[in-house]
Amino acid sequence: MTFGFDSTTDDVVTGIDLTGRVALVTGASTGIGLDTARALASAGAAVTLAARDPEKLAAAADQVRAQVSGARVDTGVLDLASLDSVRAFAAEWLAGHDRLHLLVNNAGIMFAPYGHTAEGCELHFGTNHVGHFLLTNLLAPALLADPPARVVNLSSGGHHASGIIWDDPAFEHHDYDKMQAYGQSKSANVLFSVELDRLLAPHGVHAYSVHPGLIMTTELGRTMTRDDLADLMDKAKASPSGGMPPAKSVEQGAATTVWAATSPELDAHGGAYLEDCHVSEAAPHATDPDDAARLWALSEQVVGQTFSY
């Protein structure tokens, strides 16, 4: 079946059987993360919902159970802006699970004011990339335990705004720009997928990056000001597209994520950048294999841990 811009999560999982498969979705208490978790559960997967707020998590899990008869869901508190929290979550999760088939690194922030994670990373880079980098590698033994498995990293068309600022990723010596900071983190998501797939594909684990599209009803843009929105629209008007893309519903926005996690046709496209339920093409600065390896080394330095496969 052919899917596209208008496809929803329910369209994508029709006919998919995930019975016996284990999934984990970050940022799953609201928005496209929650609908991703619901869709995977509806296809039979056992799903862990991970997010920062335990009350929102409990409500999200209840919502999935109400929508999906017999849903197998559990929850875990995870703050990606704290590597201590990432390590604690991973240790607790691995204590209760011996295998993982679908890891969806969905959580993220956008247009946040200048700030740092607990370890001193610029907030977008640390939350959107570094936290997920560490989480994925800590959970790698479970991903490798029962292949095939997949990792889906939520990127954005916003990655076109900036590649990795190699000499100053934390904006310590450059004027801070919210769009550039967000773009850098989203390029990191694509580069991470490229290198992760290179390392893990021989072991039966593929990685993909996803552009979900423009979804106006999620909490991703909760820190955006009116000036930020005006600036974003001005940049969109000046781009080759000539304006903002059409908006999607949450169910349409999550469809490419679920397609990335489940589509058999993607077995031959490890490391790919996906949008509108199709294999697409990211900017050169986000797909260069040498830069992907360079980012991996930088990320290991930041987390203080090396990983080899």
Torsion on CA atoms 161, 165, 170, 174, rounded to nearest 10: -80
Pairing of strands 72-77, 205-211: unpaired
Tokens of 284: 């050169």
**Residue that is written with structure tokens 């509806």 in the block:** 42
Amino acid in the structure at residue 10: D
**Residue from 182, 208, 273, 309 carrying the catalytic annotation:** 182
- In angstroms, the CA 136 to CA 130 distance is 10
- Vertex 216, ends 154 and 127: CA angle to 5°? 35
CB 179 within 8 A of CB 122: no
* Closest CA relative to residue 102, chosen from 36, 163, 164, 4: 36
- Vertex 281, ends 279 and 286: CA angle to 5°? 125
* Closest CA relative to residue 157, chosen from 264, 224, 40, 244: 244
CB 22 within 8 A of CB 46: yes
Residue 182 among the catalytic residues: yes
Active-site residues: which are they? 182
